[in-house]
Each structure stands twice: as structure tokens, then as C-alpha cells.
Chain A
Amino acid sequence: MIEIKELTKRYGKKTVVEDVSVNIEPGTITSFIGPNGAGKSTLLSMVSRLLNADTGEVLLDKNNVKKWKSNDLAKRVSILRQSNFINVRLTIRELVAFGRYPYSKGRLTAEDEQFVDQALEYMNLIDMQNQFLDELSGGQKQRAFIAMVIAQDTDYILLDEPLNNLDMKHSVQIMKILRKLVNELGRTVVIVLHDINFASVYSDRIVAMKDGKLVKNGTTNEIINSDTLREIYDMNIPIQEQNGCRICVYFNSHT
């Protein structure tokens, strides 16, 4: 289990994340939602050790992540940030193989190759595995990076706005895959999302933030209701149920 304890991060005088404590339940999708500047991405970066917190700590299996050896931690927690920025000319297969780096340092064993094959197959990338990343569309690229994280074989997968720049079809595709990763492979996914409807439909738990503070943390049903959403977004957001999914209809709401 990942326990976030009283994390605070300041840049100069501005407090970006203030005193946030959350437990990440294993075997779930947990979404971080909130308006721009709520501190979601900063919180995720601190959980994944990309960023050091000013105060507070993150515990993985009761041990502070700072005390973990970085190589051991890389076998337990992976993080993917705005990956479309990467312009290195690697083939999809080469990229996915680097997911095995914490295990093999790049000298792939037969077992590593098997993990790579499985990850490619899982993401439906076998046919295009020898294409270069810079020849791919945004959606294909995102799938390639998720395949890498699958090959990395970590219990926890942290994703920072993976649906950015993706169209509806690819967004749904990615979210379905994440759901499968949790349901079939027992992984734990923590994801920063902008679209609350994706959060509502696909996540088990939601962590809602605003101005660096935790507003509410609970199951999806506890968060996705008009009262709580007003607290988070200062908007009147009616909820409609559709096939058991709660859809937030915020497009013409009065603030």
C-alpha cells in the first residue's frame, strides 16, 4: 500500500500542495481530479519520487520511498508523464524493452523478452513493433509508453494526464486498458485526469483537490454528486445516470 502522509510542497511563497494525506488502495484505479493548479500533478510527482516534498512523507509498504533503493523502487512503482515530448528515435520494441531496465540493465534475458512480447501483445502493438516512435500518432505513442510500463511490471502505475492530446476513441481505448490492468493483472493505477467523466466511469476511487488542498477522498459514488462537485469546481453540475455510469453534464452549467 502507498500511504501519503501530510505532504507539503512550496515554490517560493506559493504553496502548491498543502498537508495532503491519502492512502492508495491496492488493486484499484484512483483518479486525482480538480481544477487547474490544484496540485494534482505535483502530488503525483512527489509520490513517484520525481519531486522531493518539503514536509511529509510517502510510504510504500510502510517504508519511506526516499529510503528505497532507486532500482528496487523502479520494480514497484512506475510513472509516466507527458511522454509525447520524448523525441528519441527508438522503435516501439526498443522502448518497451527499456521497461526491463531495472531488472536487466539493458542486457535482456529470455524472461525479459517474454515480458516485452506480452506487453506488446497486451497493447496490440506486435504488428508495428519495429516502427520508430516519431512515426507514430499520439495515440499509438501513448500505447507504446504504456506497454513499456507494463513490461516494467510494477505493482503501482502512476500516470500524469495520459489522455492529453488524445481523441475520444483513443482516450476510451487507454482507459479500458487501464481497467483491464487492474481487473486482470491486479495492478494499482493512480491517474491524474482532467475529464471528470472519465474519472467517474473508470475509477474506483477519486481524490479531489483544490488550491493544493485535499477536498475529498472517497469512492467514485461519494465524489460524483452535485454537492461535492460544486465544492471542488464552484460549478453547478447536474449528474445523469446512463447504464449505471454517472455522467456529469457541466457544459451549460450556471456558476
Chain B
Amino acid sequence: MKLWILIITTIILSFISLFIGAIDISISDLFDWNSDEAQIFIISRVPRLLAIILAGAGMSIAGLIMQALSRNKFVSPTTAGTLDAAKLGILISMLFITNVTYTQQIIFSFAFALLGTFIFMQILDRIKFKDAIFVPLIGIMYGNILSSITTFFAYEADLIQNISAWLMGSFTLIISGRYELLYVSIPAIVLAYLYANKFTVAGMGEEFAKNLGLSYKVILNLGLFLVAIISTTVVLTVGVIPFLGLIVPNIVSIYLGDNLRKIIPHTMLLGVVFLLICDIIGRVIIHPYEIPVNVTVAVIGSAIFLIMLLRGRAYAK
């Protein structure tokens, strides 16, 4: 697949995304700045599109970095406890701080996402049996433990409803003023690109990195830091989007390889395209109502993931 095909697809899908929804908006409506249509366009449609683009690009890059650093094709924020830790962080902030502010939630969620991922990498360091399937299974179990802790305390504190809202990745509630946190992932993605070569070298193992004079630990920690930032911003604005960070980097790896400098643009765009398609399907299928994007992503994503598992054992080992 060529990069320009992805770029054109992204543009076309973005355009479609802007012009579908419960209310029909035509291009001519936009010329009348004060019309309801133009207002909806500015307050709801454009922010939604931007949120999809940022979340799609961000989660794919987060998955890519995690796969490189853990040297396992099936590790991603959803299969390593990152997102579950972020959720736990939000809950803790709500439990311990009365009238918790948004900024405090961000800080807690970020700290927990970082710590949670770090602990997973430490576990990974200590297990001897590093099978391609076994490692993400451990990650999923670990994530479920974190998640059940969250659920338990949320239940005790009557916060279950809140928790399930974060679980539900959805762009339905994205309007101007509620998604801007996602912009924080832009510098994270830029940093990921600037450090792409270092991540590739680190992905070949500590000894390989040392041979080339790279300080492995610094790069590992920087990677986890970027993953935590991106995951936090996405969970807090959109919610949990499963599979995205898992399947998108894998598809790109099949046709382009694992040289991060080369594949980051493709991974970003493919993530955006995939998420746009899922969101558009969710908005069209029971029009004028919507299915949350995490449902469409989960259905399509799990099918792709299954195919990858079945045909991919050879390449993923």
C-alpha cells in the first residue's frame, strides 16, 4: 500500500464523516455562518473528526511503540493493562479527592497508566517463556486484575455508572470544549517519530542497543512515557477503544516491516482510516441513532485479530 493512497482515503473519509449524522448538512449551509447547520458543523462535526483523527493516530502509535519495546507483536495498551491502569487512576482520584478537577484526573490517570505499563514490562522482564501468545495473555489477565480492583471500589462508592462510561469508547459526546486534551498526544506522536530509530534499535534487545551505544533504559522509559500520555488522553476524552493499537501496527508490519521511521506515517494514517470507517458504520447503521465506536471497532477488530492469529503464528513468533 502506498502512502498517498492512505492520505487520499483519509481525506475522503474525513469529508464523509463531516457530512453524515442525525441532521443533514450541505456545503451551502456553511456559507451562512449563523445557521443552525453551520453551528452544528463547527461545534460538533469538526471536533468529532479531529478527535477521531487524534485518537486513531495516537492509539496506533502507542501500540506500535509497545510492540517494539516489548518485542512482542500482540502487546498493546489494551493487552498490557495500560488502559485499565489509567481507569484505576481516574477512580482513585475520584475516591480520594473531593470535587476532583479535570486536571487532577488527568494527572492521576497518567501516573497510573505509566506505572501500570512499567509494572507489566517488569513482569515481562522476569518471565522466561516469552511466547507470542503467552505474553499478551498475561497482559490481559493483569489488566483484568486491575479492572476488577477498579470495579470493586467503584461499586463500593457507587461509581459504577461512571466507570462503564469510560469503558465505552464513543465519539457521540465529543463537542467543542470536550476533546481538546487530545491535542496533547500531538507532541507525543512527534516525539515518537523523532525517536523512531532509537525505538527500532531498542526493539532489537538490550544487548543489540548497547552494542550500538544506545542507552536502552532511557529509550524504554521514554517509550512508556509516550504510551502513557497517549492512552490517558484517549481514555479521558473518548474512552477505551480496543484492538486499534493491536491490529493496525501488525497490518503495517506485514507489508512494510518494523523500521519505525518508515512505518510511523503509515501506522498513523491506517489507524485514522480504520477508526473513521468504524465510526461512520456506527453512525449509519441505525441512523438517526448511533452505535458507540468501541462496538464497531470490537466487531471488526476482533475478526481481523482472529485472522491474524490464525495465519500469523509463523510471522509473529
Cβ-defined contact, B205 with A98, below 8 A: no
Cβ-defined contact, A88 with B207, below 8 A: no
Instruction: List which A72-106 residues lie within 8 A (CB) of chain B.
Output: 72-75, 78-81, 85-91, 94, 98-99, 101-102, 105-106
Q: Which of B212, B253, B315 contacts A101 (CB 8 A)?
A: B212
A134 within 8 A of B: yes
**Interface-lining segment among B138-146, B196-204, B225-233:** B196-204
Q: Which of B200, B207, B259 contacts A79 (CB 8 A)?
A: B207
Instruction: Categorize the interface residue count of chain B.
Output: 20 to 34
Q: Which residues of A contact B198 (CB under 8 A)?
A: 105-106
Q: Which residues of B contact A86 (CB under 8 A)?
A: 204-205, 208
**Docked complex Cα distance between A49 and B212 (Å):** 12
A88/B213 contact (C-beta < 8 A), A94-B259, A106-B197, A106-B261 known: no
Q: Which of A70, A80, A88, A102 contacts B215 (CB 8 A)?
A: A70
Q: Which residues of A contact B315 (CB under 8 A)?
A: 89, 134
> How many chain-A residues does the 8 Å CB contact rule pick out?
32
Chain B: CB-nearest residue to A51: B207
**Docked complex Cα distance between A73 and B212 (Å):** 9
Q: Which residues of A contact B213 (CB under 8 A)?
A: 69-75, 101-102
Cβ-defined contact, A101 with B215, below 8 A: no
Cβ-defined contact, A80 with B204, below 8 A: no
Instruction: List which A202-247 residues lie within 8 A (CB) of chain B.
Output: none
Whole-angstrom distance between the Cβ of B215 and the nearest chain A Cβ:
7
**Docked complex Cα distance between A132 and B257 (Å):** 7
Could you mark each residue 176-206 of chain B with 1 if its beta carbon is under 8 Å from any beta carbon of chain A, else 0?
0000000000000000000011101101110
Instruction: List which B2-44 residues lie within 8 A (CB) of chain A.
Output: none
Cβ-defined contact, B212 with A152, below 8 A: yes
Q: Which of B197, B205, B258 contacts A89 (CB 8 A)?
A: B258
A188 within 8 A of B: no
A42 within 8 A of B: no
Tally of A-B Cβ pairs under 8 angstroms: 73
Cβ-defined contact, B207 with A81, below 8 A: yes
**Docked complex Cα distance between A119 and B261 (Å):** 22
Chain B: CB-nearest residue to A132: B257
**Docked complex Cα distance between A152 and B203 (Å):** 18
**Docked complex Cα distance between A16 and B262 (Å):** 43
Q: Which residues of A contact B259 (CB under 8 A)?
A: 90-91, 94
**Docked complex Cα distance between A134 and B68 (Å):** 16
Chain A: CB-nearest residue to B216: A70
Cβ-defined contact, B258 with A88, below 8 A: yes
Q: Which residues of B contact A94 (CB under 8 A)?
A: 257, 259, 262
Cβ-defined contact, B317 with A101, below 8 A: no
Cβ-defined contact, B212 with A88, below 8 A: no
A48 within 8 A of B: yes
Q: Which residues of B contact A71 (CB under 8 A)?
A: 213
Cβ-defined contact, B253 with A50, below 8 A: no
Chain A: CB-nearest residue to B213: A74
Chain A: CB-nearest residue to B210: A50
**Docked complex Cα distance between A235 and B201 (Å):** 44
Cβ-defined contact, B210 with A98, below 8 A: no
Could you mark each residue 134-152 of chain A with 1 if its beta carbon is under 8 Å from any beta carbon of chain B, else 0?
1000000000000000001
Q: Which residues of A contact B161 (CB under 8 A)?
A: none
**Docked complex Cα distance between A94 and B259 (Å):** 8
B295 within 8 A of A: no
Q: Which residues of B contact A79 (CB under 8 A)?
A: 207, 211
Q: Which residues of A contact B262 (CB under 8 A)?
A: 94
Q: Which residues of B contact A152 (CB under 8 A)?
A: 211-212
Chain A: CB-nearest residue to B316: A87
A102/B212 contact (C-beta < 8 A), A86-B205, A88-B203, A89-B258 known: yes
Cβ-defined contact, B197 with A88, below 8 A: no
Q: Which of B71, B197, B207, B215 contacts A105 (CB 8 A)?
A: B197
Q: Can you list 29 A-B pairs, Cβ within 8 angstroms, ordered by A?
A: A48-B211, A50-B210, A50-B211, A69-B213, A70-B213, A72-B213, A73-B213, A74-B211, A74-B212, A78-B211, A79-B207, A79-B211, A81-B207, A85-B205, A86-B204, A86-B208, A87-B71, A88-B68, A88-B203, A88-B258, A89-B258, A94-B257, A98-B197, A98-B201, A98-B212, A101-B214, A106-B196, A106-B201, A152-B212
Please name 12 further chain A to chain B contacts, defined as beta carbons within 8 Å, in addition to the given A94-B262, A98-B197, A105-B197, sorted by A numbering. A48-B211, A72-B213, A81-B207, A86-B204, A86-B205, A88-B68, A88-B258, A89-B253, A90-B258, A101-B197, A101-B201, A152-B211
9 smallest CB-CB distances across A and B, nearest first, come from A106-B197, A74-B213, A71-B213, A89-B257, A89-B258, A101-B212, A70-B213, A102-B213, A88-B258
